[in-house]
C-alpha cells in the first residue's frame, strides 16, 4: 500500500510540475489517503502482534 502511495505522490508531483495542477492535486490527495490507511493498518497489526506475543510468552 505504501508503494501505491509513493507512486500516486510521484505522479501527482510530475503532473503538477507539467501544469496539470487539478488532477495532480487529486493524485496527491489519493496518496495522502493511502498513506494514512497504511499507517492505520500498521498500527493495528503491531498491537495485535504485541498482544499475541504476550499470550505466547505467558503460556510458557
Per-residue pLDDT, 28: 94
Per-residue pLDDT, 19: 93
In what helix (H) or strand (E) does residue 27 lie, and over which residues does it extend?
helix 21-59
Per-residue pLDDT, 56: 79
User: Which residues span the domain enclosing 20?
Assistant: 2-59
Number of domains in the chain: 1
Q: Residue 58: pLDDT above 90? A: no
pLDDT digit string, tens, across residues 20-53: 989 999 999 999 999 999 999 999 999 999 999 8
Q: Residue 57: pLDDT above 90? A: no
CA dihedral for 36, 38, 44, 50, sign (positive or negative) = negative
pTM for the model:
0.80
Amino acid at each position: 500500500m505504501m508503494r501505491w502511495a509513493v507512486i500516486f505522490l510521484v505522479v501527482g508531483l510530475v503532473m503538477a510540475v507539467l501544469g496539470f495542477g487539478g488532477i495532480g492535486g487529486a493524485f496527491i490527495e489519493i496518496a495522502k489517503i493511502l498513506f494514512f490507511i497504511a499507517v492505520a493498518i500498521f498500527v493495528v497489526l503491531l498491537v495485535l502482534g504485541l498482544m499475541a506475543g504476550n499470550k505466547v510468552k505467558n503460556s510458557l
